[in-house]
Structure 1
Amino acid sequence: MTSTATKFIAHPTEVVDEAINGYCTINSARVVRLTGTGVVALRKVHPNRVALICGGGSGHEPAHIGFVRDGCLTAAVCGNVFASPPITDVAAAIRYIDQEQRKQSQGSELPPRGILVVVKNYTGDVLNFGFAVREAAARGVSIEMIVVGDDVAFGSDHDGRRGVAGTVLLYQLLGCAAAEGLDVSELVKLNTSISKHLVTFGASLSSCTIPGSQRNKDVAHGTVELGLGIHGERGLEVMPFVDLSSVVTRALEKLLEKEAAVCPKTGKEDHSAFLLLNNLGSTTDLEMSVTLTHTFKLLEARGVHVVRAAVGRYMTALDMHGISWTLLRLPNHSDPILSNHLLSLADYEPSFKLGGDWIPLLAPATNAADYRVDIGERTSEELLAALLAKQSSALEGVASPAAAVHWLHVLRNLETQGDYFNQLDAKVGDGDTGFGVMRACRGAATIASRLPWNTDLPGSLRLVAHVVADAFAGSSGPLYGTFLVAVAEGLPDTTEGIDDATLCQLLRGSFIRGSEAVKSLGRAEKGERTMVDVLEGVMAAEAVHNATTVPALFTAAASAAREAADHVKTLRATKGRSRYLGGKEIGEADPGCELVFQWLSLAAASLSAAKSSA
C-alpha cells in the first residue's frame, strides 16, 4: 500500500499561499504581494525600463518568485503546485506594473516603456497569460508575450518543446538588456535570436511528489531516466546507472544531437557556449559539483568551450533527484555582434546573478593551474621514493618480502568488504566507514609491494600509516594512522635473525603502544563502545600473551577481537556518533570494532597459510 508522502507543510491546499507569505515576509524591503493573488512584484517599478513578467505553477522554486529583483523579473505570477495561475492573477500583475510605470513617468516626456511577458510552453500558461496579454493590449498597454520552449527531449521545433530551466537564463539576459535600455520590440527580437540557440536536457534518479499526494511515478532503482519533464512527465529513455560519466556522456550526447537538429545554423565555428547546470530539486551540492566537473571535460572533448557557467537550483521540480543541462551556443561566426552582446549581458553588474544566493554566471578556469596552489606537500609516491633512496641499491630486483604478501592479502580482502562496513555504519553512524576502508586499502595496496619491509620495517609502517590516515579520512583515518605509527616505534629495522618468541614479544609491545596512542588521541577508555574495547580486549587475552609464533599470535588476537567486538554490541555508546542514538545502538555491531577483528583475522589466515605451505 502506497501512502501519501510526508512533507513539512501545514495543509496541501494552503502550501502555495503560505510559501508566498513566507517569501514576502523575509524580502519585504524589495517585493510586495498583490492582495488576493499569487502575484509577487517589485516594490519599486523602474519607470524607464521595460518590465518583465513570468509565472506558472508553483513547485519550481526559486523560479520564478526568486528572480523578482532589479535587472531581472519585475513580477512573478504563482499558480498552485504544477497548475497554471488564473487569468485574473496574470491580469492583476499587468495592471499593477502598468499603473506603477505610469505613476513613475508622470511629469516625464517619455511614456512608460511597456511590459514583456515570458511564458513557458505549457498549454495552460500559454492560454491564460495569452488571454490577459491580449486584454491588456486592447486597453492600450504596451505589451508583448514570448513563449519559451528549450526542452529538446521531445519536439522537433520550438512550438512542440516544453519550457524548462533555459527560461531562467533567457529572462535573465532579457532583464539585463532591458536595464541597458532596449525597448519591447528590441527585446522580442533579441529573444528570437537567443531562442534559436537555447537547448535544455535533463536526467533524473527519481520523479517528484506533489504535497498531499503520492509520488507521480518512480524511476526504478539503479536506473536514470533521461528527458524526464519538470512535472514528472515521462522521459525519452531509461538507462542503467553504471557510473556518473556514462550518464553525463549520454545526456550530453542527446543534448548535442538534439541541438544539431533544432539549431541547424550552429556551425563548428560557433564553439563557445553558456552553461546552466540546474538542480531539479533534491540533488546535493556535492553531486552538482562532481557533475559539473564531468560536464566541462566532456563538452570540451566535443568541441564546446564553456565561456560562462552557473550551477545551482534555478528551476526545480519539487523533490526530484535530478539535473538538467542548459546550453546557449554563442554564434561567434554566424552572428558575432549578437555573440558579443550576449557576453556583455552576462557580465552586466549588478543585475546578472542567478539563484537564491545570486550566483553570477562566471567564466570557468581554463585549466587546473588556474585554481590550484602548490604548497610543497609531498605525495605518498614522493615519500616512498625518499624512503627507497635511503636503501641499498642491492634491493633492486629482489622479490617482494613476505610482509608485503601478507599486507596485500589483508588490504585486497578488506577492500571487498566496503559495502558490509557501510551497512554496519548506517545503523549506528553516518554510513560511510566502508568508503574509508576501500580508499585506505586501495591507497596502501599501491605501495605495499614496493616498501623496504626487510630493511626498514618502521619506515615502511610509517608510510603505510600516512597513506591510511590520509585516504581513510574522517575520524577513523587519524586513529588508524596513529595506531600504525605507534606500532612502528620500537620495532627493529629488520626481523631477520630474531627468533619467533622474541618477535612475538616485540609485536605485543608494539600493539600496546598502538592501543595507548589511540586511547590518547581519541580520549576514549575501555567500556565506551569504541575500537579501544577491542584493542584492550586483545591485549588482555591469555592466549595472546602465551603465543610463541607469529601465526599463533595473530590467530589468538583475532579470536580475542571477535569476543570483544561481540561484547561491544551490549554496550551503550559514550563516544563517537553512536552516542547520539540514545541506546538504539545496543544490539548492533560497531563498525570500528568489526574492522579491527577483520584485519586481524585476515592477517592470521595469511600467516597460517604461509606457515602450512612452508
Structure 2
Amino acid sequence: MSATKPITKKIINSPETCVDDNLRGVVATYPSLQLHPRHRVITVRQKTDTGRVAVLGGGGSGHEPFAAGFVGSGMLDGAVAGGVFASPPTGHVLYAIAQLYKYNTGGVLVIIGNYTGDRLNFGKAIEKAKISGIKVEGLIVGEDVASSKNKTGGRSMVGEVLFYKLAGALSLRGYELTAISDEAGEFSKYMATLGVCLSACSLPGQPPLFEIASDEMELGAGVHGEAGIEKMKMGTAKEVVGMILNQIISHLKLVGGNRVIAMVDNLGGTSVFEMNIISAEIKEQLENKNIKVERIFSGHFKTSLEMQGFQICLLNLNKEKGDLWLELLDAPTAASAWSGGLLSVRSEGEEGHGDDDTLLQAGGRKSASGPSLTLKQQELFRGSLLAAAEDLIKNEALLNKLDSGCGDGDCGITLKNFGLAIQSYLKTASVEYPSNVLWDLSEIAETDMGGTSGGIYSLGLAAASQALASAESIDVSSWMKAWDSGMHAISKYGGAEPGDRTMLDTLHSASKTFRHNLNTDLRVLFKKTVDASEEGAKATAKMVARAGRASYVSPQYVQDEDAGARAAALWLKAMLTHIGEHA
C-alpha cells in the first residue's frame, strides 16, 4: 500500500477562497481595473461608450497572469476566471459579455481556449448573448503541436495571449467585429506552440498532480498537468530548445528566409536565469537556420501554477500580413503582464554584441611606480610571495573545512587559485618595483579568485600598492603604511572592523604588534608579528560574526575559526618567516 502523497505547501488562506483572493490581489495591485466579484470578472473601468469592439478572454484560474493580467488598453477589455483549472460557468461568461457590451457597442469578441469546458460554457454564453441582442462573436484558439492531430485541433497554449494582443490592437485601430475575427482567424494558421515540463504542479490543498523522475522531462505536457506525447531524459538548454524548435519548424513548414515572432512562456516554476538562456538559444538556433527572429517575448504569460518548464510559441510573419501583425504586436498596451515594449524592438542594421576592449586599458600600469628594491630585496620579496602562495595551495582542505559551516565551503579553493596564479605570475614578472607587483596581484585577485574573497584581496592590495607608489623609499615604515592602507580599504568597502570575525582580526592583531615592536631586532619583530596573527585568527572562533557571509548564518553553525582569518595568518607567517630566515 503506497503512502499518501504530502500536500504541497502554498501561501493561501484556503483552497475554497484562493481564486477570489487572487482576483482581489489583482485589483489591489492595479486599482485602475474593476473587479466584479460575484462573477469573477475583471474589466477596465469604463463610464462612457467607446463605440469600438471589446475583447474578452478568460478560462480556468491557476494560469496567472492569464487572463486578468492582460486586461488593459490595447489588449483585453475584460477577463472571466473559473476555478483552478476549471472553465468559468456560462452565467459568469454571459455577465462579462453583457458588461463589456454596455460600454463597447461595437460588439464583443470572445476568445475561447480550445478545451471542452471552455468551448461549451463560453459557446453557450455567446449564443445566449446573441438571443438577447448583443453583438458578439467567438473565436476558438488552439495551437499546440503535441495535440494538433486531435479531432478538435490543438489545445490552447500561450499563443492565446498573442491573440489578445492582436485583437486588442485591432480594436484600438477601429476595426469592426467581423474584421477583427477574420484577421485573428488568419493569424492562427501561422502559429504553433510546444513545451516541456520538468516537474508537476499541484492544485491548492492537493499533492502534485503527477510524478516525473528527477532526470526526466515531459514533452508536450498541457497547462493543466495533462500528459504530453512522451517522457524524455533531461538535456542541456541547447538540446531541449533545439528539439522543440525542430518540431515547431516542421509543423509550420518554416524555411530559411522566413521571419518569426518567438514567445517563451514560463510555466510557473522556471527561473528568469533559465528563461534568459532559453531565449538566447532560440535566437541563435533559428538564425543559424536563416530564420530571422524579429521579436522575443519572454516571461510569465500562461502558467500552470508552480510547474517547472516552459513553452515556445513561434508565429510565422508571412509576406502578406507579417508586417501588419508585427505592428500590432508592437503597439502600446496598458496591460500589466505584457512583457513587450520599446526594448523588444529589433532595429534594422543593428550591430552585433561585443566589448570595447580599449575602455579599461588606461587602468593598467604602464610604467614603474614608486621606489625600487635592490637585487637582494627583490630576491627576498619574490621568495616570500612564493612561500605565501605555497602555503595557500597546501592548506586548501583546511580552509574549505573552516568555510563549510558558515559559507559555501570554497575559501580554500579560491585561495588555492590565487596561490597558483601568483606562482605563474612570478615565473616571468619583475619584482623590482613592489608597488607595481602589488597592483598586479590585485588584478590577479580580481580575475583568478573572483567572488567576495577576490574583491577583498583586490581592494586591499590595490590600496597597499597606491601607498607604496607615493613612498619616498622602501623601508619598514613604508610597508607599515601600505599595510594600514590595505586594511582601511577592506574595512571601508567590506563593511567589517576588527572584532567582526573576518580576516581583519588577523591583520589588525598582527599590525598592532608589528607597530609596537618596530625598534626591535628584525627576527624578533617578525616572530612577535606571526604570533599575534595566530592569536588574531584563533580569537575569531569565539567571536559573533557581524560582517561577511558568516553574519547571515545562525551562530550555532559558526563555532570554529574564520576561514579568511586563518588564511591571512597562513600567508603572513609564510612571508615573514621566509624573510626572517633569509635576510
For the aligned pair, the TM-score class normalised by the smaller chain equals 0.7 to 0.9
Contact 1:418 1:437 in 2 (8 A): no
Find the counterpart in structure 1 of residue 233 from structure 2.
Answer: 239
Supply the distance in 2 between the matched residues of 1:449 and 1:187 (Cα, whole angstroms): 72
Structure 2 match to 1:50: 53
Look up the equivalent residue of 2:309 and give its one-letter code.
G
Q: 1:361 to 1:115 in 2, by over 3 A?
A: farther
CA distance in 1, matches of 2:137, 2:431: 82
1:65 aligns with 2:89: no
Tell me by how many angstroms 1:98 deviates.
3.2
Matched, 1:149 2:142: yes
Going from structure 1 to structure 2, the CA distance change for 1:547 and 1:524 (only over 3 Å counts) comes to farther
Q: Is the 8 A contact 1:412 1:445 kept in 2?
A: no
Sort the Cα spacing of 1:590 and 1:98 in 2 relative to 1 into closer, same or farther, 3 A.
Answer: farther
Distance 1:259 1:457, change over 3 A: same
Q: Contact 2:542 / 2:559 at 8 angstroms: preserved in 1?
A: no
**Aligned partner of residue 60 in structure 2, secondary structure:** strand
Which secondary structure state, in structure 2, belongs to the residue aligned with residue 186 of structure 1?
Answer: helix
Q: Which residue of 2 aligns with 1:466?
A: 443
1:425-446: CA deviations, max 9, x gaps?
Answer: 55xxxx6977994998599589
For 2:364, the equivalent position in structure 1 comes to 383
- Alpha-carbon contact 1:404-1:453 (below 8 Å) kept: no
1:194 aligns with 2:172: no
Change (3 A) 1:516 1:189: closer
C-alpha distance in 1, partners of 2:211/2:164? 32
Q: Tell me the residue number matched to 2:379.
A: none
Q: Distance in 2 between matches of 1:563 and 1:217?
A: 57
Rounded to whole Å, the distance in 2 between the matches of 1:61 and 1:93 is 19
After TM superposition, list the pairs within 5 Å mapping 1:314-325 onto structure 2: 314-325=301-312
Deviation of 1:465 (Å):
0.7
Task: Provide closer, same or farther for how the CA distance between residues 146 and 574 of structure 1 changes in structure 2, counting only shifts above 3 A.
Answer: same
Aligned equivalent of 1:570: 542
Task: Report the equivalent of 1:398.
Answer: none
Tell me the residue number matched to 1:91. Answer: 94
Correspondences of 1:556-567 after superposition (within 5 Å): 567=539
Question: Which of 312, 316, 322 is the equivalent residue of 1:339?
Answer: 322
Name the structure 1 match of 2:117: 124
- The structural deviation recorded for 1:64 is 0.3
How far apart, in 2, do the equivalents of 1:127 and 1:51 lie?
A: 21
The answer to whether the 8 Å contact 2:550/2:558 transfers is no
The residue aligned with 2:558 is 588
Q: Name structure 2 gaps, 5 residues minimum.
A: 371-381, 578-583
Indicate the residue corresponding to 2:504 in structure 1: 532
Alignment of 1:199-348 (within 5 A): 199-217=192-210, 220-221=213-214, 226-235=219-228, 236-240=230-234, 246-247=236-237, 249-264=238-253, 266-270=254-258, 272-331=259-318, 336-348=319-331
CA–CA distance in 1 between the matches of 2:112 and 2:443?
Answer: 58
Work out the CA distance in 2 between the residues paired with 1:277 and 1:444: 42
Q: Note the C-alpha offset of 1:117.
A: 1.7
1:260-287 Cα offsets, whole Å, 9 max, x none, are 33223x33231x2112233332444444
Relative to structure 1, the CA distance from residue 600 to residue 438 in structure 2 (aligned partners, 3 Å threshold; closer, same or farther) is closer
Identify the match of residue 363 of structure 1 among 345, 348, 351. Answer: 345
Other-structure match for 1:181: 174
Q: Aligned to 1:36, what secondary structure does the other structure show?
A: helix
In 1, the alpha carbon distance for the partners of 2:195 and 2:285 equals 16
Distance (Å, rounded) in 2 between the aligned partners of 1:445 and 1:315: 52
| 2: CA distance, partners of 1:195 / 1:143 | 20
Answer whether contact 1:439 1:471 (CA < 8 A) is retained.
no
Q: Work out the CA distance in 2 between the residues paired with 1:466 and 1:436.
A: 18
Deviation at 1:295, TM superposition (A): 3.4
Paired residues, what number? 558
Amino acid at match of 1:254: M
CA distance in 1, matches of 2:81, 2:135: 23
Distance 2:50 2:26 in 1: 25
Q: CA deviation at 1:566?
A: 5.7
Offset at residue 527 of structure 1 (A): 2.2
3-state SS of paired residue (2:39): coil
Structure 1 446/90 Cα, relative in aligned 2: closer, same or farther at 3 Å? farther
Does the alignment pair 1:12 with 2:31? no
**2:41–2:78 CA contact under 8 A, matched in 1:** yes
Alignment of 1:504-543 (within 5 A): 514-515=486-487, 517-519=489-491, 521-522=493-494, 524-536=496-508
State how far apart, in whole Å, the 1-side matches of 2:328 and 2:423 are: 50
Shift of 1:605: 9.7
- Rounded to whole Å, the distance in 2 between the matches of 1:425 and 1:222 is 30
Q: What's the TM-score once normalised by structure 2's chain length?
A: 0.77
Describe the SS at the equivalent of 2:320. helix
Identity %: 26
Distance 1:180 1:520 in 2: 58
3-state SS of the aligned residue for 1:161? coil
1:16–1:140 distance in 2 versus 1, CA, 3 Å: same
Query: Mean alpha-carbon deviation: is it higher for 17-26 or for 509-518?
Result: 509-518
- One-letter code aligned to 2:21: E
1:205-244 Cα shifts (integer Å, max 9, x gaps): 5432332223334655566555443333445444346xxx
Q: Structure 1 residues 403 and 526, CA, compared in 2 at 3 Å: closer, same or farther? A: closer
Query: 8 Å contact 2:261–2:294 — kept in the other structure?
Result: yes
CA distance in 2, matches of 1:418, 1:118: 61
**What displacement does 1:568 show?**
2.5
Q: Distance in 2 between matches of 1:326 and 1:420?
A: 48
CA gap 1:541/1:164 in 2 versus in 1, 3 angstroms: farther
- Give 1:168 shift: 0.7
Q: Structure 2: how far apart are the matches of 1:237 and 1:579? A: 44
Distance, in Å, in 2 between the alignment partners of 1:234 and 1:410 is: 57
Query: 1:404–1:448: 8 Å Cα contact kept in structure 2?
Result: no
Counterpart residue number, 1:37: 39
What secondary structure sits across from 2:144 in the alignment?
Answer: coil
Q: Within 1, Cα distance between the matches of 2:98 and 2:226?
A: 34
Contact 2:504 2:565 in 1 (8 A): no
Contact 1:56 1:78 in 2 (8 A): yes
Q: How many angstroms apart in 1 are the aligned matches of 2:312 and 2:415?
A: 32
